Structure 1
């Protein structure tokens, strides 16, 4: 049963690793295509034009200047020029007016103006028309980025005005031909769906591995992958497309959930409870904070959620330092895990710094966290598989050491009593033949007394090796104690056992031992009767060995069932 489970688990691990390699290749190919058709074309002025540094802005006080007729062509209002490549304002800005003027060569009837941010809401465009009016346009949100089609009768001699309720988001105002806009939106959608699909695949794969191996590391990694999937689903704008809403507060809540499940995974993966018990209280407090922030982020003001985000980043950073320290100090975890965490953390740091205006906001900044998350889950899964495989190898090695005789490298008496006896009972249930050989080295005490215990140890080791070579694959050999060995021969009667025993006896007799030269063995044989218990069977084999010794040693004797009956 255990062997079958082990084989199935190895098959699952092989399939998992193969799937990971294929997904990695597809993911990398997709990302290169997105970069080729989006980022590099985005900076091509003939196809994509960034209007952000042509924008002027005005920040009104409270509820002043809420209508376009209060703003347009009002010489009393002083607009300031945006000198940055992106459009970004601090958290305390609640409302802002933007204006810009397009040149005739920059636009035509098939051009689209869009904003590269999924979280911009309550935004209106006021487009000047040739009849002297302003047409209010609400962005179309059926794509990832909100956009408007420029009206056919747009007046290029007047300013375009944009009114937005600010939510501390950075964005670019871009102009593109409709065909190019649809290409970039479709590619981004495929890119997001592809990465979310990778996370979903890793989630399913980790759950399969958990149910196969019952190892909690896979379970906690599944929880983390699921929460990361939810976070990126919200971040990508898919939630807005499917459910019709997006919010920064929900994003913070999902970030708290991802951080919580990641900390739980680290706690299990690095076995902090046993390896670093001094961190147990810190772990409990950090989990408590992350879980509380998961709930309160939905009800507190937006400004405060960013303070929570800072604390999340500090906690995550501390656990990354703990992971690095535990790997290099104690060898816990794996290099796959460290590389994965570094890639994931770097991807989200670039996204966060870009969203705060500290880095240039472009397609690389807002899309890098998706492949970072996918690569991280791939590497995490590989790391967990390899770590669990290593742990099993170590445990198997330790178990083998417990049941192996160190001197002769064959099984010991403990293995016989814990495992071989059960195998004998199984053979008995199947009504299969089974025989036992009990072997003893003749005059072994004289070897120790004459040549020393080192020579005696060498004799024991070489004798075990010779016996093993003479036995078949299905036969089981153990060192019973001292100079005595026991061999169990499944599916073998006393006649065939005698042939095997004679082969062993002659092989040892003809072997030249170092220092000692000649050694002989006496062997007792007993075929198990279906009605006798193990102890009676062993006693018959031991009696046969005694008879072999009495008959001058270096002989093979068989004790049949009727001989015991006659003696009794």
Structure 2
């Protein structure tokens, strides 16, 4: 029984991996047909480096330094830690197709100071200041540095990059409508990403309070520190706290959060893999890395040179990740199966972080995907597999508890039962997850089969009846084809919510498969079930779905009669659904034996 539940839990996690893969492959396409593609500005720049840091915009406009500008060859320009002031020049004739329109220039990098000079044809200019030093100057509450271009007479644009942070320009030019859609998409995907990590954090915090295992506590701290690190990497700290905390915090936030992440990674690894028991030398080396991380964290606050602390943190991160990976390998070689999922997760994350570090050190080409999608995908996969690893450890603890129960005397019996109860609570929680459709949060087919079996037993032993309703979302494939699977998922979630809000308390609704939902109505006649179906049909027809607006469903209804089996009942209901589709969809059809009637059709 326990093995079957473990298998169900693993299958649930594998299914979730597929969802995450889909999530990373498709952005939200709600306005894809209306949206104009942004211009990547990297290769449009002319670049000038000012080692003196004294050259002004007036000096540049005088023409003295025109020959010092060099055309960029890269889509994304990256200069790393430098003492130079970087000037970037854009010719508006090449990038602004219609100067009468309003445009937005977005620089996604976290920068100390960035200034944009809009130079008009008469030589006058207007300046917009952004970056950490000028966070109050940006009116729109957003993580990127945003500049608005709406003067038709603008001839050239100059960007001035300066400060202690690495200087780079991942920059894009948007038309206003396209930029609004881009912000909506980003907010949606960011919410999905951080929502997943927060849900995982809360769930494992629950397991920690239930099981009192320190590995769960360190894992919760690790997830929390990763959320902080990713937020600082994506400039969300500036977006959320830019007007409340001093500039120095944001200058050093990446190094601080990075060292916290390393600290809790080491603590989790040492506890989960039980290095002191299986690999004493690795345990001692882990202690050295732990102290090294603490010193690096303290240095992040004390040392004024941000370049030093950032580079030390990156080098330390590579060493720590290799150590954690090798620790898992050697523990696995010692026959500890709990390390197998740990190794898969850590391998994915190690690869993503190493790629990130190599790009930051300019060893491989700089690209925004390395700092956006790569760590996000790595973190999600790693979190899933570490959760599986912790699940393995639950089973190991359970086996150890059972062995202890056999040899302990009566004075320890109470504690053993208490520990077993804690494990049973965790099992019940996992079983609940295994019986729930992850996307729609309604019962899945496994749970519906169980409820249907109970309804049959009740009807056969007590000579009562029950009804079932099978509904299919009309032309659902067209939603996926036209708008993408993300929008299709939104439709499924909304339909599930409407069904839950419409059915009676004693009814059970669940996802039968794909775009089909099944409603089981105990002690319900066919006429009553038809009325329930019609009520649901009207609710769906009148509901305004996001993006797709209107979506209808077809219904098949039938009731249990003596002699019915599970297959005959479902087959009859499916036949009624087929007839509803034949009648033009968006209607309710029912069957009792070979007699059918159409209730409503729109």
Shorter-normalised TM range? 0.5 to 0.7
2:120 maps to 129
How far off its partner does 1:288 sit? 0.9
Q: Which residue among 112, 126, 130 is the counterpart of 2:104? A: 112
| Corresponding pairs, count | 392
Q: Which secondary structure does the structure 2 equivalent of 1:294 belong to?
A: helix
- Correspondence list, 1:64-143, <5 A: 64-65=54-55, 67-76=56-65, 78-103=68-93, 106-108=96-98, 109-117=101-109, 119-139=110-130, 140=138, 142-143=141-142
Contact 1:144 1:185 in 2 (8 A): no
Alpha-carbon displacement from aligned partner over 1:125-173 (angstroms, at most 9, x marks no partner)? 11122443111122446222212121222334xx321111052143322
1:366 maps to 372
How far off its partner does 1:388 sit? 2.3
Q: Which secondary structure does the structure 2 equivalent of 1:359 belong to?
A: coil
Contact 1:171 1:361 in 2 (8 A): no
How far off its partner does 1:255 sit? 0.8
Superposed CA RMSD: 3.5
Q: Which residue among 236, 253, 256 is the counterpart of 1:253? A: 256
2:388 maps to 382
How far off its partner does 1:36 sit? 6.7
2:457 maps to none
- Correspondence list, 1:467-482, <5 A: none
Q: Which residue among 39, 47, 62 is the counterpart of 1:49? A: 39
Question: Aligned pair in 2 of structure 1 residues 360, 416: CA closer, same or farther (>3 Å)?
Answer: closer
Q: Which secondary structure does the structure 1 equivalent of 2:154 belong to?
A: coil
What TM-score do the two structures reach when normalised by structure 2?
A: 0.59
How far off its partner does 1:111 sit? 2.0
Question: Aligned pair in 2 of structure 1 residues 332, 154: CA closer, same or farther (>3 Å)?
Answer: farther
Contact 2:117 2:127 in 1 (8 A): yes
Distance 2:333 2:263 in 1: 24
Contact 1:100 1:160 in 2 (8 A): yes
Alpha-carbon displacement from aligned partner over 1:427-461 (angstroms, at most 9, x marks no partner)? xxxxxxxxxxxxxxxxxxxxxxxxxxxxxxxxxxx
2:191 maps to 193
Distance 2:241 2:371 in 1: 25
2:570 maps to none
- Correspondence list, 1:136-285, <5 A: 136-139=127-130, 140=138, 142-156=141-155, 159-166=156-163, 167-244=165-242, 247-285=250-288
How far off its partner does 1:187 sit? 1.6
Contact 2:318 2:354 in 1 (8 A): no
Distance 1:200 1:289 in 2: 29
Question: Aligned pair in 2 of structure 1 residues 81, 37: CA closer, same or farther (>3 Å)?
Answer: farther
Structure 2: state its 5+ residue gaps: 131-137, 418-602
- Correspondence list, 1:475-514, <5 A: none
Distance 2:361 2:89 in 1: 22
Question: Aligned pair in 2 of structure 1 residues 416, 190: CA closer, same or farther (>3 Å)?
Answer: closer
Q: Which residue among 25, 30, 33 is the counterpart of 1:32? A: 25
Please tell me whether residue 295 in structure 1 is matched to residue 284 in structure 2: no
How far off its partner does 1:17 sit? 7.1
Distance 2:95 2:410 in 1: 90
- Correspondence list, 1:443-458, <5 A: none
Question: Aligned pair in 2 of structure 1 residues 351, 262: CA closer, same or farther (>3 Å)?
Answer: same
Question: Aligned pair in 2 of structure 1 residues 62, 130: CA closer, same or farther (>3 Å)?
Answer: closer
Distance 1:196 1:15 in 2: 26
Distance 1:342 1:289 in 2: 23
Distance 1:85 1:104 in 2: 15
Distance 1:417 1:220 in 2: 32
How far off its partner does 1:88 sit? 1.1
Alpha-carbon displacement from aligned partner over 1:237-268 (angstroms, at most 9, x marks no partner)? 22111111673521111111111111111101
Q: Which secondary structure does the structure 2 equivalent of 1:138 belong to?
A: strand
Distance 2:182 2:92 in 1: 22
Contact 2:85 2:162 in 1 (8 A): yes
Distance 2:29 2:330 in 1: 39
Distance 2:158 2:12 in 1: 51
- Correspondence list, 1:309-324, <5 A: 309=313, 310-324=315-329
How far off its partner does 1:274 sit? 1.2
Q: Which secondary structure does the structure 2 equivalent of 1:57 belong to?
A: strand
Structure 1: state its 5+ residue gaps: 1-6, 404-413, 424-568
How far off its partner does 1:365 sit? 4.4
1:61 maps to 51
2:493 maps to none
Contact 1:144 1:189 in 2 (8 A): no
Distance 2:175 2:359 in 1: 26
Alpha-carbon displacement from aligned partner over 1:59-99 (angstroms, at most 9, x marks no partner)? 2133320x210112423451122222221114233421111
- Correspondence list, 1:407-486, <5 A: none
Larger radius of gyration: 1
Distance 1:62 1:211 in 2: 58
Question: Aligned pair in 2 of structure 1 residues 145, 154: CA closer, same or farther (>3 Å)?
Answer: farther
Question: Aligned pair in 2 of structure 1 residues 96, 417: CA closer, same or farther (>3 Å)?
Answer: closer
Contact 1:91 1:303 in 2 (8 A): yes
How far off its partner does 1:222 sit? 1.0
How far off its partner does 1:235 sit? 2.0
Question: Aligned pair in 2 of structure 1 residues 182, 298: CA closer, same or farther (>3 Å)?
Answer: farther
Contact 2:234 2:372 in 1 (8 A): no
